[in-house]
Amino acid sequence: MRSHSGKKAITAVVDEFVANVAADARINKFFALTASDPKRMATFKGNLVDQICQAGGGPCTYAGKSMKEAHAGMGVSTADFSALVEDLVKALDKLKVGEKEKNELLSVLGPMNSDIVEKP
């Protein structure tokens, strides 16, 4: 996912990932407000695309909040975090993202749990 055309692939992954999360009874309550407002959902997805694109080496720049700021006060648990990563892996597998890219992405996102999880 390094080339510019990768942005289309990333957008497809984010769409699939967010659909998985919305259908995931373990964690979808966190996203009730996001899902209730199409503009908010579009901004959220755009931020995710930029973040994943940047994590993959660019050329996008993530301009959203820090992970600590974005998730402060949500009370995300380790189990919630694992459920979300599982939903992401499902999306990556469904869209046949290669093992190398998949592992690269997961190795960038995994360490973010210390900024996101409030209930270890």
Q: By CB under 6 A, is residue 30 in contact with ligand HEM?
A: yes
Buried b / exposed e along 24-56 (16+ C-beta atoms within 10 A): beebbebbeebeeeeeebeebbbbbbbbbbebb
Which one, of 98, 111, 94, lies nearest residue 55 by Cα?
Answer: 111
Q: Does 79 bind ligand HEM (CB under 6 A)?
A: no
Provide the minimum distance between the beta carbon of 3 and ligand HEM in the complex, in angstroms, as a whole number.
22
Cβ neighbours around 97 below 10 Å, total: 19
- In the structure encoding, which two tokens stand for residue 57, read together? 């080496």
Q: How far is the CB of 80 from ligand HEM (least distance, A)?
A: 4
Does 91 engage in binding with ligand HEM (CB under 6 A)? Answer: no
In the complex with ligand HEM, the residue whose CB is nearer, 19 or 33, is: 33
Site membership for ligand HEM, residue 48 (CB under 6 A): yes
Residue from the set 10, 13, 14, 27 that interacts with ligand HEM by CB under 6 A:
27
Residues 50-69 that bind ligand HEM (CB under 6 A): 51, 64-65
Considering only 15, 22, 31, 118, the residue that binds ligand HEM (CB under 6 A) is 31
Query: Using the 8-state DSSP alphabet, how is residue 25 labeled?
Result: T
What the block records as the tokens of 116 is 């996101």
